[in-house]
Structure 1
Amino acid sequence: MSNERSIQTGTVPERNPGRFGRLSAAFGRRIVTAVIALTVVFLIAPVLITVIASFAAEWTGVIPTGFFTLEHWRHVLGLAEVVGAERALGTASFSALGYTITVPFLSLVFSVMLALGGVVINLIVGIPIAYAVTRYDFFGRGWVNTFAVLPIVPGVILGIAFLRTYPNLPSAISLVIGYSLLKVPYMVLAVQSSFESMDLRQLEESARSLGASWPRTFFTIIIPNAKTGIIAGSIVCWTLAAAEFNFTYMVYSRGPRPFSIFLYNNITNSPILQTAAAVSIYFLIVAGVTMLLQATGQRGFSVGGAR
């Protein structure tokens, strides 16, 4: 009766949220915030404790003790002449034209370049695929989209396939190609999400009406506007490629060791504190590359003169 009277008078009917509704209104936001904070702490705590333990003398319980020492870092960085130095990052010297070039931390530099090579291929392949399946409606579009965003095969299977198909292919080339094949779905998904948030047809028509060719429209307008997805995809692809172990373990044969092999050797054969230092190096590298790519995304980037 009260609702009918409210409709006749044009007033908003009184709403009784009930006890649960009142409790939810009073404490719901606080509870959600507390759950998120506890989840973040739960996920971040092992990383922080591992980094802290790398500077400790002992780690027998949950909390490391005996600070402060750099011995474990010196060991894994190859700066200490001790047993197990072959598991360190180490250095390498190359002679050419009468000059000797020493590369410090060669394993680290080698892995960074391999992962970056995979990201470059992901960008070259992933961006056009994401653009095509977002912008155009063509026969087989659904299948292309499905196969583009699904991982092809696990790393160990792809490694065996590479060894059988390309037995004489250098390890570095195999690793770059393999990293790109394994991680390209993440690039396609990230860039596609940016394209889907844009009105591609309107952007293209506006640019073409002003006299821009299709290549110029694509490289100077479409790609810069999708920078959020491109940066996110690059971060994910680089991080996963740098730590890819299964494919690396199957394909790697000689030369500088990829970083995932370095981590494996230290985790399986080194004391726990040296392992903590090795893992901390990976955390710091990932954090550094992530901040660098995010800074690039915040400043914006230009392709062909457009920002």
Structure 2
Amino acid sequence: MFGERFVMPADAAILIARPDAVTIARSEQGVVGRLLREGAVAAWRGVAPILVWVPPMLLIAPLVMLAVGSFTEVWDSRGLMGASTEAYREALKFGGTAIAFSLKLATLVTAIVTVLAVPTAYALARYSGATVLMVKQILMLPIILPPMALAIGLIVLYPALSGTFSIFVLAHVVLAFPFAVWPIGAALTAMDFRVLETAARTLGASQLQSFFLVILPNIARAAIVGATTVFVVSIAEVNAGLFLSSADYRPLSVALLGAFMDFDIRVAAALTVIFTIVVSPAFVVMEVLLRRGTRT
């Protein structure tokens, strides 16, 4: 064992004989790594604009086409011909009542859902157990079940409300409720509200004061996001509206669908533009309120 000769590997012998070989190898690796990083950055710079601009263009292109078509005299298989605003006059005549109804409905539903969602999200975040878990699962049902199933269930359960404004309010509150609870609940979980409550109580605040003066201001941004989502969901809801609509009450989304199915496509395009104009201010208001909340 002690008589055996140790044979040094050829590579190790070269490195010992030439210490600068290690430096050269490391330098070459550094150059290769830098070239790879520069290549990856260059490739990303080429791909990034595509990833940023293609999805919005895919969404905007149909709206642009509808907007252009809504100002034409004729839109058929031959294409777009002439220029006219007649489609908007017909759209307002056909869907003016539906627009007013949808705005009234969405505003009322947004107010009701927001007022109910804040304490609900607070209770779900504050407590735990099987009951809380069951409530959370129940809140998922409007997302899982088809809206038309809810509409049929409400008609069967409350036949006296069929065709009334109240059944629309009830259906939209149920459908939109989860969209307000989720962001508020996420905000409560993220900020560890129990620590804030403990600090407020230590300073002499009551449970009610700590909620309104400490917790509520911290979840205001989440409540704004939830309220905006509820407004848009209510305006855009069409499946339940098909079953709940009556001669007196018909939402804008149902009128829009009816225009596409029964009327000139120019009128449907004009209603689509009006629909977009009605919904867009909600996002503008949300952005303004969120920016004010950030500054304060």
State the distance in 2 between where 1:199 and 1:219 align.
16
- Report if the CA contact (8 A) 1:248-1:258 is conserved: yes
Which amino acid is the alignment partner of residue 105 of structure 2? L
State the distance in 1 between where 2:189 and 2:161 align.
38
Secondary structure of 2:246 counterpart: coil
Aligned partner of 2:101 among 95, 110, 123? 110
Q: TM-score, normalised by structure 1?
A: 0.77
- Tell me, yes or no, if structure 1 residue 294 matches structure 2 residue 287: yes
1:194-205 superposed matches below 5 A: 194-205=187-198
Aligned partner of 1:77 among 68, 92, 97? 92
- Tell me, yes or no, if structure 1 residue 39 matches structure 2 residue 55: yes
Q: CA deviation at 1:275?
A: 0.8
CA distance 1:238–1:62, change in 2 (3 Å)? farther
State the distance in 2 between where 1:52 and 1:234 align.
32
Aligned pairs, how many?
270
Q: CA deviation at 1:120?
A: 2.2
CA distance 1:115–1:22, change in 2 (3 Å)? same
User: What corresponds to 1:52 in structure 2?
Assistant: 68
Secondary structure of 2:276 counterpart: helix
- Tell me, yes or no, if structure 1 residue 177 matches structure 2 residue 193: no
CA distance 1:62–1:46, change in 2 (3 Å)? farther
User: What corresponds to 1:166 in structure 2?
Assistant: 158
Q: CA deviation at 1:115?
A: 1.5
Instruction: Give the number of the structure whose alpha-carbon radius of gyration is greater.
Output: 2
User: What corresponds to 1:81 in structure 2?
Assistant: none
Q: Which has the higher contact order (CA 8 A, sep 6+)?
A: 2
State the distance in 1 between where 2:36 and 2:189 align.
39
CA distance 1:63–1:192, change in 2 (3 Å)? farther
CA deviation profile, 1:85-136 (whole Å, cap 9, x unmatched):
xxx13xxxxxxxxxxxxxxx43222211112222223213322232233333
State the distance in 1 between where 2:106 and 2:175 align.
12
- Report if the CA contact (8 A) 2:221-2:293 is conserved: no
Secondary structure of 2:205 counterpart: coil
State the distance in 2 between where 1:268 and 1:26 align.
49
- Tell me, yes or no, if structure 1 residue 224 matches structure 2 residue 240: no
CA deviation profile, 1:53-76 (whole Å, cap 9, x unmatched):
212234457984533x22111111
- Report if the CA contact (8 A) 1:155-1:182 is conserved: yes
Secondary structure of 2:159 counterpart: coil
State the distance in 2 between where 1:134 and 1:29 align.
43
- Report if the CA contact (8 A) 1:122-1:184 is conserved: yes
State the distance in 1 between where 2:276 and 2:67 align.
8
Which amino acid is the alignment partner of residue 64 of structure 2? L
Secondary structure of 1:33 counterpart: helix
Secondary structure of 1:55 counterpart: coil
- In structure 2, stretches of 5+ residues that fail to align are 1-11, 20-25
- In structure 1, stretches of 5+ residues that fail to align are 6-11, 79-87, 90-104, 302-306
CA deviation profile, 1:243-269 (whole Å, cap 9, x unmatched):
211211212234242212221221111
- Report if the CA contact (8 A) 1:129-1:148 is conserved: no
CA deviation profile, 1:20-66 (whole Å, cap 9, x unmatched):
64421222144123222111111111112212321223445798453
- Report if the CA contact (8 A) 1:149-1:186 is conserved: no
- Report if the CA contact (8 A) 1:49-1:63 is conserved: no
State the distance in 2 between where 1:153 and 1:62 align.
42
Which structure has the highest helix share of the two? 2
State the distance in 1 between where 2:215 and 2:176 align.
23
Q: Structure 1 vs Structure 2: percent identity of aligned residues?
A: 26
State the distance in 1 between where 2:212 and 2:81 align.
54
State the distance in 2 between where 1:241 and 1:159 align.
14
Which amino acid is the alignment partner of residue 285 of structure 1? V
Aligned partner of 2:228 among 235, 245, 253? 235
- Tell me, yes or no, if structure 1 residue 125 matches structure 2 residue 116: yes
State the distance in 1 between where 2:150 and 2:128 align.
31
User: What corresponds to 1:137 in structure 2?
Assistant: 128
- Tell me, yes or no, if structure 1 residue 25 matches structure 2 residue 18: no
